[in-house]
Amino acid sequence: MGADIFDAVCQALGHDPGRVLSVRMNPRLVVVTTIDPAGHLCTVTCAPSDADSCVPPAGDGAPSADANSGSSGAGVRPGPT
């Protein structure tokens, strides 16, 4: 994928392209893996129709209490340490 296409996808999903490690997409799911300033991985999963939910939560990057509840269809999971 060309750098300008990758940058455009990251920006459309609300992420700084310099912090995005990968973006995986299919018609039903978008998975974005980023690295925070402390070096921790964060994976955000959302439906393509709800791209606003692909933005990580504000704060330290830790998942919110209801991030894995499944009620919103979006989840934030920290990567392996």
Query: Over the chain, what is the mean pLDDT?
Result: 74
CA-to-CA separations, 64 to 26, 58, 68, 78, in angstroms, rounded: 25, 10, 8, 11
Domains in the chain: how many in total? 1
Query: Domain range spanning residue 13?
Result: 3-78
Confidence (pLDDT) at 41: 95
**What's the 3-state SS for 23-66?**
EEEECCEEEEEEECCCCCEEEEEECHHHHHHHCCCCCCCCCCCC
Is residue 58 scored above 80 in pLDDT?
no
Confidence (pLDDT) at 46: 86
Predicted TM-score (pTM) above 0.75: no
